[in-house]
Structure 1
């Protein structure tokens, strides 16, 4: 009987470990501008310059923008999307995405995002420098769009 309990415990441990490793999130881009390069960066590393990017685990603190030749490496002088895609471990601890125009960022092109494969329809669009759906000041946390679904993906669109 002890051997059977050890076997059950081992299978349960492997299942838990496998479940943690199964987390993934994909970020895709649609560039309808006819110019520029969609750019996805995390911790100073370029993850994508237009192709779909899939993380094997959480994608935390990533930024995206359309590099038009006028943007700094961290999206300075351009409209920027900030995202953390993570499976929730408790209420309110899941994914969050927003658009920022907080200096040194500024409006450059119409930019929008939407979740898919969960929280479908949740997202935001910014079509002008005065859009109310983007951060203009760090206190405007209400512009963040949350998603509390495992393995949610994100689509970012420029010039929609």
Structure 2
């Protein structure tokens, strides 16, 4: 009976360690907003068109793929149409160059609406771009403007989006 108890105890310990390791290394990303404007609602939309946040921080327990963010001023469509938009994919890199990537877009039907910027946090700190006017040099204007993307190859990186 003691041998069976020992085997059970060892198996329980192994399961506990594996579970703890999985929890400790689980992928997680936080998108937060810094709205310095006197108006508007920071909005985060999933790739599938689901509203993820209207101002509060959003935590993704796993990769966040193809999300968009903008300041809803009343003139933005669900996907940020007619507004300045931040597009982001936050994911832990599984190969060189295949981690997180974020950019600003003014590809029509997107247009400049308000000063918008982003920066990474908890890795790649300070890397990002800001668009202060319609002539913003760091925004996508055509689908081929991939040079404006800001990559981050750090696990569990977070993103801060700032308006005004």
Taking structure 1 as the reference length, the TM-score comes to 0.89
**Equivalent residues in 2 for 1:44-123 (5 A)?**
44-123=49-128
How many angstroms does 1:16 deviate by?
Answer: 6.7
2:3 is matched with: none
1:37 is matched with: 41
Gaps of 5+ in 2: 1-6
CA-atom RMSD, angstroms?
Answer: 1.8
2:147 counterpart SS class: helix
1:156 is matched with: 161
The one-character-per-residue Cα deviations of 1:21-51 (angstroms, maximum 9, x if unpaired) are: x110000001111000000000111000000
Mapped partners of 2:84, 2:78: distance in 1: 13
Q: Tell me which of 118, 126, 139 is aligned to 2:131.
A: 126
How many angstroms does 1:57 deviate by?
Answer: 0.6
Gaps of 5+ in 1: none
Instruction: Detail structure 1 runs of 4+ shifted over 3 Å in the superposition.
Output: 6-20
Mapped partners of 2:98, 2:18: distance in 1: 24
Pick the structure with greater CA Rg. 2
The one-character-per-residue Cα deviations of 1:82-116 (angstroms, maximum 9, x if unpaired) are: 00000000100100000000000000000000000
Taking structure 2 as the reference length, the TM-score comes to 0.87
Number of residue pairs matched by the alignment: 154
